[in-house]
Amino acid sequence: MKIPKRLARWFDRIVTWSEVAARIWADHWLLIIGSLLVIGSVGLKWVQFPFTHDLSGLRLSLIRDPGVTPHISIFATGTLGLLLLLVALLFWRRNATLLALTASILVMLWAIAPAQIAFRQPSVLRRLTYELEVTPVLNVFTKDYLLQNYGTPELVPKRLVLYTAWGRLMAAISFMRLGWDCFGLGALLIGIYGISRLPRAKLRTTFLLLALPVGAMIILLIPPGIGQHYYNEGMLNKTRGRNQEAIADFRRAMRWDRWHAQDVDLYATIGQLQKLAGVSSNSPERHIQRAVELRQANEYEEAIFEFSLAADAGGWTAYTAHKEEAATRVTLGLALYHAGGIGAAVKQWELAVAEDPAQVYALFYLARGYYDIALYQAGIAVGDKLAPLIKDHNYVVANVYSLIGDCYAKLGKDAEARIYYNRSLTADPILNYWALTGLVGE
């Protein structure tokens, strides 16, 4: 059978292109795969929060806390990595060292991402661990007081060691997800390719390039390492009964490591040591120590008062006291709700969210409280505010949609209620009896 000339020409072109593509792939497959991994990683999930909005590579900022509603930032790890890679790909044929240097910087960005969370942005790690602690409480509240949704919650780390610098680094890594892994693997492949293309003195150049990520990690680890040293010394002096020396060591640890400067338990420990030493009876640490003891005894209103006194000190002490005051208000609200004081509980949750916007999970309680006291429109408003903040977590956002649907049903707006029940089922279709019950009208 004779092949038409036009078809034969197309076939020859395809064969030629295939041969060219095969040669390019054979010569540059490491660079191609590595670049695709880095480019694809920036939009993937890098950090998984147990409750609020997850962080992608475009939102994981190197210079500031991304907050509850993170935004795309030019100083995000993924953004910087993508820009560096694009520049290197444009000029790598002119300068082989440029590609290897870019890969070294990419490896550095990958390595310091969890270190940034653990040491330079400890408020992010604290929010991660705090949300991890309150999520089971939220699930119990849902199952005990609302129609049940038996959908499978997301898997998150269960046990973290936070009293050591190494433990905090491992805790931060445990929250890192697929985007971070892809970025690191891509950077490594690009680095292997770049080093293989270097002319002479490859071994020496390789060590020089490795010095960049290693040096960056050392710089990040030195302050928390010193803080850990003073913390250990303080604990040792505390066990020996040297209260004044222990207090001095703990304060040095706070100066070197922000984690300790935001640790309510360490402030309470200093307050306890001051009490034993008979000094500083009205210090912020003594107020925090009394507040922690009162909270453990379920005397929440007195604890809130003590935290408010400690907040007058300013600095990290005030920051920590405000955070704990808001958290105590959330717990007080739950206690009041369980006792039937729903109106008082709603007031406490309103104050908690106003004092600390990071207490996002309190919005769920608040929406339910508004529903219970027949403020259905307010419940809808709070639910609509909460849903975008937790959109990455199907199990929880499904419950929020069902709660909004309940509010619309009480207002007699059945069409809107069905929309939200359907959204709930779309978000979490596994054994979601709450949304199913709403749709059938029970």
Domain parsing of the chain, residue ranges = 1-123+159-239, 263-359, 361-442
The amino acid occupying position 47 is V
Q: Model pTM?
A: 0.84
347 pLDDT more than 70:
yes
Pick from 232, 130, 128: nearest CA to 173: 128
Q: Can you give the length of the chain in residues?
A: 442
Residue 3 has pLDDT above 80, yes or no: no
Alpha-carbon distance 220 to 175, whole Å?
19
Residue 55 contacts residue 49 (beta carbons within 8 Å): yes
- pLDDT (tens digit per residue) in 280-330: 788 999 999 999 999 999 999 999 999 999 998 889 999 999 999 999 999
Q: Which CATH class is domain 263-359?
A: mainly alpha
Confidence label for 186 from pLDDT (cuts 50, 70 and 90): very high
Binned at pLDDT 50, 70 and 90, residue 109 comes out as very high
- DSSP H or E segment with residue 438: helix 433-440
For the record, the structure tokens of 176 come out as 């890192």
Mean pLDDT computed over 247-261: 94
pLDDT score at 256: 95
Distance CA 382, CA 401 (A): 11
CA distances from 281 to 155, 272, 286, 303, 410 (A): 45, 10, 6, 17, 53
263-359 and 361-442, same CATH topology: yes
The dihedral built from the CA positions of residue 33, 35, 37 and 39, taken in this order, carries a sign that is negative
Lowest mean pLDDT among 143-157, 210-224, 288-302: 143-157
Between CA 17 and CA 14 the distance in angstroms is 5
Q: Tokens 């969890």 sit at which residue? A: 114
Helices (H), 56-121: 77-91, 96-115
Q: Which residues, in sequence order, are bridge partners of residue 76?
A: 61
State how beta strands 55-56 and 45-47 pair. Answer: antiparallel
Q: Residue 206: name the closest of 352, 103, 345 by CA.
A: 103
Residue 148, pLDDT score: 56
Query: Any residues with CB less than 8 A from the CB of 397 and at least 6 apart, and which?
Result: 387, 390, 391, 427, 428
Percent of the chain at pLDDT > 90 equals: 54
Read off the pLDDT of residues 297-309 as tens digits, 9 standing for 90 and up. 999 999 999 999 9
Q: Which residue is listed with tokens 């997301």?
A: 154
Q: Check if the beta carbon of residue 127 is closer than 8 Å to that of residue 351.
A: no
Share of the chain above pLDDT 70, in %: 90
368 within 8 A of 143, measured Cβ to Cβ:
no
* Tokens, residue 254: 């706070």
Q: Which CATH class is domain 361-442?
A: mainly alpha
Q: 302 pairs with which residues across the strands?
A: none
**Encoding tokens for residue 293?**
């003891």
Rg (CA), the chain: 27
DSSP 45: E
pLDDT for 387: 92
